[in-house]
Amino acid sequence: MIQIGTYIKVIDNSGARLVLCIRFLNGFKQRRANIGDVIVVVVKTLRLKRRAYIKVTKGAVLYALITQSKRGLKMFNGDQVNFLQCSVIILNKTKKLVGTRIFGILPKKFRYSRFMRVLALSSGCC
């Protein structure tokens, strides 16, 4: 679960390395966000390799989709999926993907959501 003020790792090739969560978009007075939620983030650090291909700037306010969290996700059949870190994918203002590649595996939850394209770009599914 992610709270306001949490530093989160970015797992796509948009150019950002770490982002800071500043707001949630789902619900009224929501305190935590889980896998599959869209949040508002600020870019804090950038990747230094291949600066010519960086698509975001430091300090930019963007949307992000939560893809992994340490708390994990419980499925209806009793399975539970946990990850070692919290991570997000950067989205633009119209909620389209900024990056063209996603590094790491994603839960099957995205297969039944509006972000099905995320699974096509990722390396695997759990």
Which pLDDT tens digit goes with each residue over 47-103?
Answer: 887 777 788 999 999 999 999 999 888 888 888 888 999 999 999 999 999 999 999
Angle at 47 between CA 116 and CA 126, to 5 degrees: 30
Domains of the chain: 7-100 (2.40.150.20)
Mean pLDDT value across the chain? 90
Tokens of 71: 């708390």
pTM for this entry: 0.91
Q: In sequence order, what are the beta bridge partners of 78? A: none
